[in-house]
Chains A and B, each alone.
Chain A
């Protein structure tokens, strides 16, 4: 049986003969930290010759205690944030031990986390700077690279202005690097920067923050152990966040009911009590169907709605519309199942919801996620342990990079980019606002959101007359981002052709290098960056807990940590002093100037009052990393020890100054706890009333122990004076707080007085908004995807009007009408998603032999019915063709995972281009071991109407036997 199974896997797994990369003996010895070169091994046997044991050298017993040091880090492959103990000897990372003490993962890892040590060896890394010369990769020195790249960029800046350069940052940078990059780009003079969050959870961040204050996961993976029911919708956590299942399955064992709603029968579905198959992109009608049953049965939490929610009545009108017949027509889900979801969620409270890219990556993503919030508000599941919206973020530090990193519409801490925001940050940075303004092309552009990473290709190709910036993009810097994760790859190649300069700063050359080399002769530079194991810094897990990574090893090859590279460029650009005014700069082991990472975090502390990164000092997090074992696994709260009463990783908001000792906030908006113990309420961010209706929380609804026993607006100097609390500030605090509000008072005095003395939250106490009136659809509305398989539904539920935003004209209705009947030619829904072995664009993980071996081929999952119709059999090659004219050649995996009419492709592959292996276009030796077609070569046009999230979950294709 087992052998058979293995063989059948092998039909997909190894039908193609692979170059078999194996560890060389020298490599083995190096990896094992062994100095002497002895003879035999089972590895030696790979040469085909068995070496007689007599040849083996007699060896010293390895004393595990000798010369080995253990460095604590955190897995870099997803937002769960599993801790890692790296054993290092003679500077070589020789072993990896489980960290049983971590309350987050209890030592557990998925395939990626259990193999991160490989990155400390990284034979497939980009080893030194390179440039494209006459279509060939040529090694150059760092000096040449810095000189040439900076000269080219400065020339463009002079000729076309700072907005001609686009900076793609990274969610794989640590907080300090992500923050420094936002500052760096600001000083360059543009808002044209972005990172993975745009194409991951931007719709969540916008939709959820506009509902109740913050756009982050409200509770935590651990807190899900308190849930009685868990609804996964658009999340395949078993593959995307495997260790989260440790907590989920524990909850299940203790009686929690698990529901999975997904077009695919995922591995998460395999672990569920109930599975509901839905048509991709029809989440809104489904949730309205659920709400209808909730209200029809009186299951809604009336008190909660009355006290803490605004606009539920208006939502009810939309709920009325979605009769069971309509729901079934659009979603394909029968009323029984809809009723079941409502009943399970209502009868097993606290119940929680989990969503990921299955909900966010749609043209209606912002509205889909808001219906989820509405569902939880209706059930009174927000601000309670075991409830909440558990939004699982993607990359290891995507939460942190969203919070303090390179966002085109905001400075660190969601301060925005209005004049006041700039002034606030200029004060923190110690630079003159006028100088900063002078760095930009104009004040207008300084306050206008930049282009998003999902649209940089249009930034290059759009007619500048139609754009909201004076120039096309002329250069793009990919600073830790895969190109194959953005949609419309076929057009991206065109954009790459047109660029003046393309720079890749990454530990791996990434698909960018190969794509560029395919179509260009020069003007492309590759600069080797160090991984997060080769530097130190903090990262924020999905649950807002911040952890500290120690440096495990020195940077490999010629790579340098990202913040060191930033500083080197800042020197070239002439703003190094401004960039590090408050940050110590010292020389690192290789003689490069390195901004002090802890100092950067301290600067973040001094500026980000809004989201309470202000209390998360390096000293406090390091203490948490050391005393992990003192934290409770379910509540994340330390019980005794030096961190007594604090929550693990000080989940933000960790209010006020570090000295205020706020313990962090494990569950957002939880009124059952005092604010100084992590309690809270909804944020007052949208005014105090609308059309005569109060937006503030009702009397009686407040965090436990608050002296204002009901709703109130956010605090500033005036309100403090009105309330007679002003004199509780010290004289120094008064001076700093005069004319300021809680977000801009750099002394933290307002926050201290309001929280410590009066038990209130500085951001006010308001209602969550079921109606987000500043969005195109204030009450979420179902709208068909642009490439809809249902022309009949396009008429009933058309998409938005075309719109210009984020500096670019964007098509909605025009395109939808044009392609309305295209499902006749392209009848199959194409959706994409995760595999457990790989992460993101996948270059890094596909370069890791331990992972690469497990998944050697790009595939498409096809239902047997569609396979038979296309005359394709399991394991055969098939062309997946989309309306863009792109066609990708992949292996067919015939399976019931997907329903008839839907195919699924994983999005981690790159290195093949419409049937062609791109191996010759990678720098020699730096290609990923496994290459395959990128699904995004074939994806189509379509963007969320608020955030420019790309639509990758619902488009159309057809299959042709290859």
Chain B
């Protein structure tokens, strides 16, 4: 297995928030924490596009780079996970992340007292025994260890959001693009996964981009 990624196909995403509540449901994510959310550009106007965003599990992850306790780690599948026992809730990762993925349970505002960082785990839990009660409580379900994929993607209403091995995702997208006859907007891909040279690290995105 190579490298796990997310793709949100902006041609299909209808901003239905199915992915968002699927995540809430699977991991009992509390009120105020959004591991995933849907962003809409040009709302209400021709060209309106929505994209569902969570942690992209970046190739060269800025969050990892800035964490003062180095609590992040990368799994064999390329997932960027972290250890809540080591996290001090400082919020650096939030500022470093180009996607605003890290969330803080108590963070009503950016400067208020925070809890431990929480973010999308690609439904792969965290440190410790897979599928254990402790993992469940701290990080949510470990679907990957059950041989399943992220629930947000598996439940996406239009199959806009897909998750898995980069090669398989490319195949799926290629087929769609071929049929549509025009390119896919793989929003955020270059930022998250680099262009080979991985030069984009830390740079913020301002608009949808073509790969």
Contacts and interface: CB of A to CB of B under 8 A. Distances in A.
A and B interact physically: yes
Q: Which one of B37, B155, B207 has the highest number of Cβ atoms from chain A below 10 Å of its Cβ? A: B155
B157 A242 contact: yes
B18 A108 contact: yes
B125 to A, nearest CB: 11
B74 interface: no
B18 A242 contact: yes
B26 A108 contact: no
A243 B157 CA distance: 5
B78 interface: no
Interface string A1-24: 111011000000000000011110
Interface in B20-47: 20-22, 24-26, 28, 30-32, 37, 39, 43-46
A238 B118 CA distance: 30
Contact of B25 (A96, A238, A270): A96
Contact of B14 (A2, A100, A238, A853): A238
A40 B138 contact: yes
Contact of A62 (B46, B131, B205): B131
Given A2-B99, A45-B105, A108 B159 contact: yes
Q: Which one of B14, B31, B155, B206 has the highest number of Cβ atoms from chain A below 10 Å of its Cβ? A: B14
B20 A854 contact: yes
B155 A109 contact: yes
A113 interface: yes
Contact of B37 (A6, A64, A112, A271): A6
A861 B157 CA distance: 25
A557 interface: no
Given A45-B105, A46-B105, A246-B158, A32 B116 contact: no
Contacts of B31: 20-22, 849, 853
Contact of A56 (B12, B18, B46, B134): B134
B156 interface: yes
A550 interface: no
Contacts of B46: 265, 270, 275
A539 B139 CA distance: 37
Contacts of A275: 46
A323 to B, nearest CB: 29
B120 interface: no
Interface in A88-136: 95-96, 98, 100, 106-115, 117-118
A48 B113 contact: yes
Nearest to A54: B85
B151 A98 contact: yes
Nearest to A895: B44
A114 B14 contact: no
A265 B138 contact: no
A114 B25 contact: yes
Interface in A45-73: 45-46, 48, 50, 53, 56-64
A28 B137 contact: yes
A48 B48 CA distance: 39
B197 interface: no
Nearest to A271: B14
Given A38-B133, A41-B138, A114-B155, A23 B39 contact: no
A267 interface: yes
A896 B45 contact: yes
Contact of B204 (A1, A56, A253): A1
B17 A5 contact: no
B191 to A, nearest CB: 10
Nearest to B9: A249
A36 B32 CA distance: 26
A53 B16 contact: no
Contacts of B132: 59-62
B205 A253 contact: no
A407 to B, nearest CB: 32
A85 B32 CA distance: 27
Q: Which one of B24, B131, B179 has the highest number of Cβ atoms from chain A below 10 Å of its Cβ? A: B24
A253 B12 CA distance: 10
B77 interface: no
A665 B115 CA distance: 57
B200 interface: no
A5 B39 contact: yes
A595 B98 CA distance: 58
Contact of A60 (B118, B133, B179): B133
A98 B17 contact: no
A308 interface: no
Contact of A36 (B26, B84, B133): B133
Q: Which one of A1, A31, A42, A271 has the highest number of Cβ atoms from chain B below 10 Å of its Cβ? A: A42
Contacts of B176: 253
Q: Which one of B44, B129, B159 has the highest number of Cβ atoms from chain A below 10 Å of its Cβ? A: B44
A245 B157 CA distance: 8
B111 to A, nearest CB: 14
Contacts of A64: 131, 146
Contacts of A254: 179
B69 to A, nearest CB: 13
B139 to A, nearest CB: 8
A38 B134 contact: yes
B179 A253 contact: yes
Nearest to B114: A45
B14 A28 contact: no
Nearest to B178: A253
Contacts of B21: 111-112, 114-115, 850-851, 854
A339 to B, nearest CB: 20
Nearest to B136: A32
A96 B27 CA distance: 11
B146 to A, nearest CB: 6
A71 B98 CA distance: 41
A140 interface: no
A34 interface: yes
A86 B89 CA distance: 35
A23 B30 contact: yes
Nearest to A115: B21
Interface string A826-863: 00000000001100000000000111011000000100
A232 to B, nearest CB: 13
Contact of A111 (B17, B48, B100): B17
B28 A23 contact: yes
B16 A43 contact: no
Contact of B115 (A42, A836, A850, A854): A42
A176 interface: no
Given A53-B85, A60-B133, A115-B21, A46 B43 contact: no
Given A253-B180, A265-B46, A2 B39 contact: yes
A110 B18 contact: yes
A849 B207 CA distance: 31
Interface string B100-122: 10000110000001011010000
A881 interface: no
A307 interface: no
B57 interface: no
Contact of B22 (A114, A238, A898): A114
A897 interface: yes
A62 B158 contact: no
B133 A34 contact: yes
Contacts of A716: none
B24 A115 contact: yes
A283 interface: no
Given A62-B136, A115-B21, 7 more contacts: A34-B133, A42-B105, A43-B30, A110-B16, A114-B155, A242-B157, A265-B46
Across chains A and B, which 6 residue pairs bring their CB atoms closest together, nearest first?
A897-B44, A45-B115, A59-B133, A41-B137, A111-B17, A270-B48
15 contacts: A2-B98, A41-B138, A48-B115, A53-B85, A58-B134, A59-B132, A59-B134, A95-B26, A108-B158, A113-B155, A245-B14, A267-B15, A854-B21, A861-B44, A897-B44
Interface of A: 1-3, 5-6, 20-23, 28, 31-32, 34, 36, 38, 40-46, 48, 50, 53, 56-64, 95-96, 98, 100, 106-115, 117-118, 238-239, 242-243, 245-246, 249, 253-255, 265, 267-268, 270-271, 275, 836-837, 849-851, 853-854, 861, 895-898
